[in-house]
């Protein structure tokens, strides 16, 4: 039975940041953040499906979580579910996800509306990057069944993130907003609305991001991502390489007051750009700006 509020009992958190080792000092500064968003896949070693003790904690990463857990909420932003792959979900990975949900007491869990695992005969491999799904009814049915199962196992909340899609498939049966609205309405899962992904898509595929937002049901939004990007050739890429462009701030101003179930705004950046984007000063500036938007509506 779909939930009315996809955030369930999760509290309204405020403004957080994706945790990275380079931002460790900033992330631990008192009052700097209302929560941490972590990519759990970075905190463990996966020894492979056939191994006896498959997942092992990476000590220097786990130490950061052990510091944060008594102080701040930690939300999980996974990259390994590969919810849209044709192959069945990796049940060992799902078990690990659920075990960490209990261990770190996440207010919610998220992953991406895309695929990264591929089938090679009886084996699975990695595509290396997250790739876009065709928005067809059969794909929607497949993902809805998986999401419903995950919601049952985890108790929720579970969010999926709208992707940056650099390519467009001809003859899709549904638009992106139709696909996401149907997925959320049918399953009760939430939307992790990535405004920078939306901005990328609107630039690269030349559509109006505000019209996209008019078509999406903002009741489903539980978390928002903001980030910065850069050009790769002719494409504006979701590289997480700096502060947010003004267009993303404008979209954030538009969304936050219209998303009644929103629980948090997360600033994303890639570790390897930390120094080039201005280090702690850049983080402070972006978080402060996001907080102003949050505070106006809360």
Partner 1 sequence: MSLGDFQRALADLVANPAMCLAVRRHGSDALDSYELTPREHRRLESVVWQRGMSANCTVYRSTRATPIYTLLQNTCDLLGPSLTHELNEYWMAFPRMEVRFDLEISRFADFLAQRLKSGVVECSCDSAAITEVLAIELARETERLRPRDEHLPHQKRAARFRTALPISS
Residues that bind Fe ion (CB under 5 A): 194, 225
Phi, then psi, of 153 in degrees rounded to 5:
-70, -40
Nearest residue (CB) to Fe ion, 111 versus 194: 194
Cα→Cα distances 42→51, 56, 59, 244, Å: 19, 11, 11, 24
- The answer to whether 245 and 199 are in contact (CB under 8 A) is yes
Phi, then psi, of 278 in degrees rounded to 5:
110, 10
3-class SS of residue 69: coil
Q: Figure out which of the listed residues 141, 214, 253, 271 binds partner 1, where binding follows CB under 8 A.
A: 271
Q: Figure out which of the listed residues 35, 100, 115, 267 binds partner 1, where binding follows CB under 8 A.
A: 115
Find, among 132, 110, 129, 114, the residue nearest to 39 by Cα.
110
Nearest residue (CB) to partner 1, 43 versus 249: 43
Query: Going residue by residue from 201 to 220, which x/- string records binding to partner 1, judged by CB under 8 A?
Result: ---x----------------
46 belongs to the binding site for partner 1 (CB under 8 A):
yes
131 belongs to the binding site for partner 1 (CB under 8 A):
yes
Residue nearest to Fe ion (CB): 225
Element (H, E) at 145: helix 137-154
- The answer to whether 238 and 273 are in contact (CB under 8 A) is no
**Position of tokens 């049915």?**
141
235 belongs to the binding site for partner 1 (CB under 8 A):
yes
Q: Of 67-75, 85-93, 146-154, 246-254, which segment contacts partner 1 by CB under 8 A?
A: 85-93
Q: Figure out which of the listed residues 167, 206, 208, 246 binds partner 1, where binding follows CB under 8 A.
A: 167
Q: How far apart are CA 158 and CA 68, in angstroms?
A: 22
Task: Point out which residues bind partner 1 (CB under 8 A).
Answer: 18, 20-22, 24, 39, 42, 44-46, 53, 56-60, 62-63, 77, 79, 85-87, 112, 115-116, 118-120, 125-131, 134, 138-139, 163-171, 197, 204, 232-235, 237-240, 268, 270-272, 274
């Amino acid at each position: 039975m779909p939930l009315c509020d996809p955030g369930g009992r999760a509290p309204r958190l405020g403004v957080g940041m994706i945790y990275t080792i380079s931002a460790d000092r900033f992330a631990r500064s008192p009052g700097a953040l209302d929560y941490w968003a972590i990519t759990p896949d970075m905190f463990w070693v996966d020894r492979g499906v056939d191994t006896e003790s498959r997942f092992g904690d990476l000590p220097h990463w786990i130490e950061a979580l052990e510091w944060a857990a008594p102080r701040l909420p930690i939300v999980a932003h996974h990259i390994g579910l590969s919810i849209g792959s044709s192959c069945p979900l990796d049940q060992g990975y799902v078990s690990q996800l659920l075990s960490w949900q209990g261990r770190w007491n996440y207010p919610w869990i998220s992953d991406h509306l895309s695929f990264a695992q591929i089938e090679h005969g009886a084996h699975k491999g990695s595509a290396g990057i997250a790739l876009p799904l065709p928005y067809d009814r059969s794909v929607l049915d497949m993902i809805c069944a998986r999401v419903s199962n995950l919601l049952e196992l985890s108790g929720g909340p579970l969010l999926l993130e709208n992707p940056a899609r650099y390519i467009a498939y001809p003859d899709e049966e549904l638009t992106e907003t139709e696909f996401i609205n149907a997925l959320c309405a049918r399953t009760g899962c939430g939307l992790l609305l990535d405004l920078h992904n939306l901005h990328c898509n609107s630039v690269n595929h030349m559509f109006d991001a505000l019209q996209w937002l008019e078509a999406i049901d903002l009741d489903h939004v539980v978390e928002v991502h903001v980030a910065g990007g850069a050009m790769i050739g002719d494409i504006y890429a979701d590289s997480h390489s700096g502060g947010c462009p003004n267009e993303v701030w404008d979209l954030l101003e538009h969304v936050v007051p219209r998303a009644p179930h929103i629980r948090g705004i997360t600033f994303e950046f890639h570790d390897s750009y930390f120094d080039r984007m201005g280090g702690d000063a850049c983080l402070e500036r972006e978080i402060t700006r996001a907080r102003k938007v949050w505070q106006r509506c809360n």
